[in-house]
């Protein structure tokens, strides 16, 4: 892999995996490190962040782990300021925290609704709030927010709060991109399609008779005949945060094997 992020500092929120295997944040952290970045792997679960760091350091990469509740603004501020002080700059912010709960307005409680909005959207607001001052000071930076194709269409599941939250992530991304375009800061979103990651076994498998049926159904629903992997998201994130994407900002990139290109 080319060293496209050589000597850069990247913070990834949601850098662990919720179960065995490769989640989007975990794969992205490893990919960034392979590309030469020092990666600050942040997760709500300390052991998950540490696992990602162990993989990176075993490969000879540079990384550190941090446990942080992404909705705790003061803790996020302290973490971000600490990284900036220690490393001298923050080049990349990657927001991978997300959450989906099944249900429409009838089934969901108001607390359920707020949790989905907070974990998907407010998390991005808080991290950007504290990272942007450092990027403005240095006159450069790149931010990627992980959204979903659920932001732009129905994907077969009744999770109305997730649809609303991810649509908000896309528009939040576009607004930031235009606000800071003349400051050397680029902001883009990635919209995963139907992916085969540990998260689906935790948050989506209950919609099917068993996990094997879920995998078969999701594979069949993809134009390519298979779900994507965490590495597909990681490679998109690497591109968007590299110099090759220097003239790309404000986009919401679908990484979905053609899912959203299909009319039905």
Between CA 236 and CA 239 the distance in angstroms is: 5
* Full DSSP string of 151-207: GTS--SS-BHHHHHHHHHHHHHHHHHHHHTGGGTEEEEEEEE-SB-SHHHHHHTGGG
- C-alpha distances out from residue 107 to 2, 159, 208, Å: 48, 10, 18
Between CA 27 and CA 234 the distance in angstroms is: 6
Which two three-digit tokens encode residue 162? 């997730």
**Does residue 157 carry a catalytic annotation?**
no
Looking at residue 140, the DSSP 8-state letter turns out to be -
Helices 230-240 and 24-34: crossing angle in degrees, nearest 10, is 50
Give φ, ψ of 41 to 5 degrees. Answer: -95, 110
Q: Of the residues 99, 157, 159, 162, which is catalytic?
A: 162
Hey, which residues are catalytic here?
A: 162
């Amino acid at each position: 892999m080319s060293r496209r992020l050589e000597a850069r500092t990247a913070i990834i929120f949601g850098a662990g995996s919720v179960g065995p295997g490769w989640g989007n944040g975990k794969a992205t952290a490893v990919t960034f490190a392979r590309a030469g970045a020092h990666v600050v792997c942040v997760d709500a679960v300390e052991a998950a962040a540490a696992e990602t760091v162990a993989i990176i350091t075993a490969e000879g990469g540079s990384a550190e782990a941090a446990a942080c509740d992404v909705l705790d603004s003061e803790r996020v501020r302290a973490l971000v300021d600490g990284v900036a002080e220690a490393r001298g700059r923050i080049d990349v912010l990657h927001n991978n925290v997300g959450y989906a709960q099944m249900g429409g307005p009838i089934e969901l409680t108001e607390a359920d609704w707020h949790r989905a909005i907070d974990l998907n959207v407010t998390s991005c607001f808080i991290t950007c709030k504290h990272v942007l001052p450092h990027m403005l000071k240095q006159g450069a930076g790149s931010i990627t927010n992980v959204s979903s194709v659920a932001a732009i269409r129905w994907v077969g599941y009744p999770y109305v709060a997730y649809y609303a939250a991810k649509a908000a992530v896309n528009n939040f991304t576009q607004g930031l991109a235009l606000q800071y375009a003349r400051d050397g800061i680029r902001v883009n979103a990635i919209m995963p399609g139907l992916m085969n990651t540990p998260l689906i076994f935790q948050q989506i498998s209950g919609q099917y008779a068993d996990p094997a049926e879920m995998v078969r159904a999701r594979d069949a629903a993809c134009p390519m005949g298979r779900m994507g992997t965490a590495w597909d998201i990681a490679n998109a994130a690497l591109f968007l945060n590299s110099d090759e994407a220097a003239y790309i900002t404000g986009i919401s990139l679908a990484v979905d094997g053609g899912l959203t290109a299909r009319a039905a």
